[in-house]
Amino acid sequence: MPAHVLFEACVDSVEAALAAQAGGADRVELCADLLEGGCTPSAGTIQLARRLLQIALNVIIRPRGGDFCYSDVEFETMKLDIELCKRIGADGVVIGLLHPDGTVDVERMRALIELARPLSVTCHRAFDVSRDPFEALETLIGLGVDRILTSGQEPSPLEGLELIADLVERAGDRLIIMPGGVSERTVGRIVAGCGAREVHGYLPVTVEGRMVHRNPRVFMGGELRPPEYALIMVDPGRVTELVHAVRQGLTS
């Protein structure tokens, strides 16, 4: 077991980032559009999060939902977003680009990594849909990526635990393997099962919105949508439980 396990909270707003910090998170990954798996947040969101947070801030650089094979226009957008993150003072960026055949897009990944430095670089769960996890691991190590966020190419890190443990062993000190999708109930088993040094999770709670007047006939999204008058926030209590579960496991 590692001496300390860092918890990165996945958040989609400044308020959620502050709630994660209050609960004891070590770092946040700031996103928008979590229903799409996370996209790049607005410049204002990034800037205000950096201004108010005392913990580390990583920002996802993903111009849209869907796959990870991007057009030239989307690639240029990603470069501009990385430059913005550097100016604002983010600690790291979270990226991932694939070729149509499921291999890592080495040329474009290298360009974004070079642009991002000296910020930390994480490869997100594009890794989980790559065609060969071990091939992708070695490619990303060669590119100098700092960590890989992964559920072990399965729907959850518990289901992918065997592969995650293998990746941790193969990576050694060359790169951090960060299991994604942990909760306060599963984090102990996951860390014990793979020896991860960092873990990542989204710990939401649904709260009532501020509107008193409500029109039930009008919706702002499509057919698949969250409740119109509810807000999804990070639960600082759940974050505290997760951090406690990790520390309890390390000392038991």
What's the mean pLDDT in 145-163? Answer: 97
- The predicted structure's pLDDT at residue 1: 58
Predicted confidence band at 223 (pLDDT cuts at 50, 70, 90)?
low
The SS3 call for residue 190 is helix
Placement of tokens 């065997």 in the chain = 162
Q: For residue 225, what pLDDT is reported?
A: 65
Q: If we measure between CA atoms, which residue out of 53, 116, 48 comes closest to residue 79?
A: 116
Share of the chain above pLDDT 90, in %: 82
Question: 168-212, pLDDT tens digit by residue?
Answer: 999 999 999 999 999 999 999 999 999 999 999 999 888 888 888
pLDDT one-digit tens code per residue, 238-249: 999 999 998 876
pLDDT digits (tens, 9 = 90+) for 13-67: 999 999 999 999 999 999 999 988 999 999 999 999 999 999 999 999 999 999 9
- The per-residue pLDDT for 148 is 98
The DSSP 8-state label assigned to residue 28 in this structure reads E
Question: Are the CB atoms for 9 and 28 separated by under 8 Å?
Answer: yes
State the pLDDT at residue 206. 84
Query: What pLDDT, on a 0 to 100 scale, did the predictor assign at position 252?
Result: 55
**Burial tier of 161 (Cβ tally within 10 Å: 0-12, 13-18, 19+):** buried
Closest CA to 115 of 88, 80, 64, 143: 80
Average pLDDT over residues 142-163: 97
Residues linked to residue 11 through DSSP beta bridges, in sequence order: 30
Local confidence band at 122 (pLDDT 50, 70, 90 cut-offs):
very high
Which domains are seen in the chain, by residue range?
A: 6-251 (3.20.20.380)
Q: Which amino acid is at 137?
A: L
Average pLDDT over residues 131-138: 98
pLDDT band at 221 (very low <50, low <70, confident <90, very high): low
Asked if 21 and 53 count as a contact pair (C-beta separation under 8 A), the reply is yes
pLDDT band, very low/low/confident/very high, at 216 (cuts 50, 70, 90): confident
Amino acid identity, residue 2? Answer: P
Check residue 2 and give its pLDDT: 65
pTM of the model: 0.91
Statement: residue 156 has pLDDT above 60: yes
Q: For residues 64 and 217, which has the higher predicted lDDT (pLDDT)?
A: 64
State how far the Cα of 94 lies from the Cα of 41, in Å rounded to an integer: 12
Cβ–Cβ < 8 Å for 250, 4 = yes
Side chain identity, residue 36:
E
Tell me the residue type at 215.
N
Residue 231 has pLDDT above 90, yes or no: no
pLDDT at 35: 84
Q: How many C-beta atoms surround the C-beta of residue 7 within 10 A?
A: 23
Peptide bond connecting 118 to the previous residue in cis, omega within 30 degrees of 0: yes
